[in-house]
Every structure is written in structure tokens, then in C-alpha cells.
Structure 1
């Protein structure tokens, strides 16, 4: 059985990979996927703490219920985010963040 430290290590590694992708990438689709990876890392941390924080050997499910709400919000974010990306591509004909400026025509 894996320990809490193992789950936290994997979660931290996923979050660092996602953060580095957001900071270093220029493609808006890859940046969007890295944001979702960071959100998944936070969900993994919540589930890990929920599993190992139980009383009397039973897990505490309150954090896991929070994860379901986070996943629901993430699904809505994906729909809205992809719609924005498609609208930006139609308007500017590019998905590179360097070429997308809000105040220029």
C-alpha cells in the first residue's frame, strides 16, 4: 500500500509539470491542458488527504465530495475555455500566446 508521502510526491510532480507548461509554452491549447493537469494534481492531493485522514480506520469522504464538485467545475471550464480558444482562432488565425494581444487589432 502506498503511503501519503507517495501520493503527495506524485501530486507535487504533476503540479510542477503543469506549472512549467503554463509558464514556458506558447501554444494556448498546451497551456490549457497544463492548467487541467494542475487541477488534477490538486484533486489527487484532496483524495490522498481524505483517504489518510479517516478516524477509526475509515476514510473521511468530505474531501472526496469536494473533488466531485471540482471535477464538475473543471468540465464546465473545459467547455467555456475551448469555446474561447476557437473564437480566438477564428478571429486571429493563430493559437500562439505571443501573437494574441487583447488591445491590438
Structure 2
């Protein structure tokens, strides 16, 4: 596979991920879009590692670190989403943001 093809595919994946983060209102879809962007970064790391013929395979090692960090981020993100759903009854980002912007003195204690 040529480097230009890998970069083009990575750019397309990253662009779709950025679009998903900016447009989506569902927290789960935003997390999926972030994972898509991290996958695009991994593709670039491995492609440039193969281009430079590094003896230590630094790009592939960095890709493994990104995968580990992505797994931790996904676990923590899903835990936060479940907690928000349990407290607010929705995972829509706008609804949660509107609820957080309210003045705590005026919020009814029953809700």
C-alpha cells in the first residue's frame, strides 16, 4: 500500500470522526467518533513506521499505546455516560448541558 493511500484513508477517517464529534448530540456516538479519530491516528503511525523502516518499530509501539489509552478512555467515558443517564434520564448532550447551566438555587430539589 502506498503512503499516499494510507494518508488519504486516514484523513478521511479523521474527517468523519471530527464531523461526528461536532454534529452528533448523542454521547455514545460522540465516543464512537473519538475512537474513529484515534484509529486514523493509528493508521498514520503504522504507515509512517513502515515508510521509515525503523528498527525499533516506534510507530507500531506508539499505536499500541494509543489503543491502550483508547480502551481506558472508552471505559471511563461509558461509565460517565451511564452515570449521566442514571441521574438525568437522557444521554443527549444538549439536554445535559442545559441542565448543568441552570442556577443551582432555582433548581427544584425533587428533580
TM-score w.r.t. structure 1 length? 0.90
Q: CA deviation at 1:60?
A: 5.5
CA distance in 2, matches of 1:69, 1:29: 23
Gapped regions of structure 1 (runs ≥ 5): none
TM-score w.r.t. structure 2 length? 0.85
Aligned to 1:75: 71
Matched pairs, number: 101
CA distance in 1, matches of 2:50, 2:56: 6
| Residues 20-49 of structure 1 deviation map (CA, whole Å, 9 limit, x = unaligned) | 010011111101100110011011000000
CA contact (8 A) 1:51 1:60 kept: no
In the TM superposition, 1:1-105 aligns within 5 A as: 2-54=1-53, 61-101=57-97, 102-104=100-102
| Structure index of larger Rg | 2
Moved more, 14-23 or 95-104: 95-104
